Amino acid sequence: MKPSLPRRRADLLPILAALVVAPLALALSACASPAAKPDPAHGAAAPAAAASHRSGLLDRLRPLCGQAFAGRVVVDTPNSADNLFAGKPLVMHVRECGANEIRVPFHVGDDRSRTWVLRDDGARFNFKHDHRHADGSADTMTLYGGDWRQSLVAGRYEFPADDESKALFGKLDRAVSIPNVWAIEIDARRFVYELARPGRLFRVEFDLTQPVPAPPPPWGS
């Protein structure tokens, strides 16, 4: 005997419910768990849990205090004819580690004019370049740098040029440097210093696994 029409409709109800509920569940799941967006600078997905926070850099550098490390230029685009780094030993020295400030002289051969200064006073975390002459006097182009911004890449710390530096670049006819972004990358094996702006990328990588003898003090110390 054939089932009545109402009975057939009742039999279809579980099937229709499944067809409606399953796509809805998938849609809700997709909304609740968005995929991590790729970091444009590195081309890889970077979850928020891997973000570099301001306290991490100084904490990573303090155990290295007193040690020096050799480096090499890994990117220099475009190459310049008067390359100041070509053929010269490059050494970074984590020389002074205070509660709020760490100073890292960067030696290029016998040139001891450069010191990287990282300072976090709670209100501001910045990265500056202290340039000195051999007699200790300040260079005209000195104490430029930028304020920290959070990076989505673990171990990477970025510092776009701050207002004081932009004003200095404009005053000294160095407007090309106004869009500068400096970055530091650090892990158990390497320390990287980076300068980037449109049309320019410079990176020096230091081997943290092989300390070298400490160089002489930087000029002006």
- Alpha helix positions (H), the chain: 5-32, 54-61, 163-171
Percent of the chain with pLDDT over 70: 76
- The pLDDT assigned to 62 comes to 96
- The pLDDT assigned to 79 comes to 80
Q: Do 207 and 70 form a contact (C-beta atoms < 8 A)?
A: yes
Q: How confident is the model at residue 3 (pLDDT cuts 50, 70, 90)?
A: very low
Cα distance between residue 143 and residue 161, in whole Å: 11
Q: How confident is the model at residue 184 (pLDDT cuts 50, 70, 90)?
A: very high
Exposed e or buried b per residue across 64-100, where buried means at least 16 C-beta atoms within 10 angstroms of its C-beta: beeebbebeeeebeeeeeeeebeeeebbbbbbbbeee
Q: Is 199 exposed, middle or buried (0-12, 13-18, 19+ CB in 10 A)?
A: exposed
Encoding tokens for residue 29? 């799941």
- The pLDDT assigned to 81 comes to 66
pLDDT tens readout for residues 23-54: 444 443 444 434 434 343 343 333 444 567 88
Task: Enumerate domains of the chain plus CATH numbers.
Answer: 52-212 (2.40.128)
- The pLDDT assigned to 136 comes to 97
- The pLDDT assigned to 93 comes to 98
What is the rounded average pLDDT of the residues 1-12? 46
pLDDT tens readout for residues 197-220: 999 999 999 999 999 999 999 999
State pTM to two decimals: 0.77
CA distances from 11 to 8, 102, 200 (A): 5, 75, 69
- Count of beta carbons in the 10 Å neighbourhood of residue 117: 17
Asked whether residue 7 carries a pLDDT value surpassing 70, the answer given is no
Asked whether residue 167 carries a pLDDT value surpassing 90, the answer given is yes
pLDDT tens readout for residues 88-127: 999 999 999 999 999 999 999 999 999 999 999 989 999 9
pLDDT tens readout for residues 131-157: 999 999 999 999 999 999 999 899 999
Q: Which amino acid is at 10?
A: A
Percent of the chain with pLDDT over 90: 67
Q: Which amino acid is at 48?
A: A
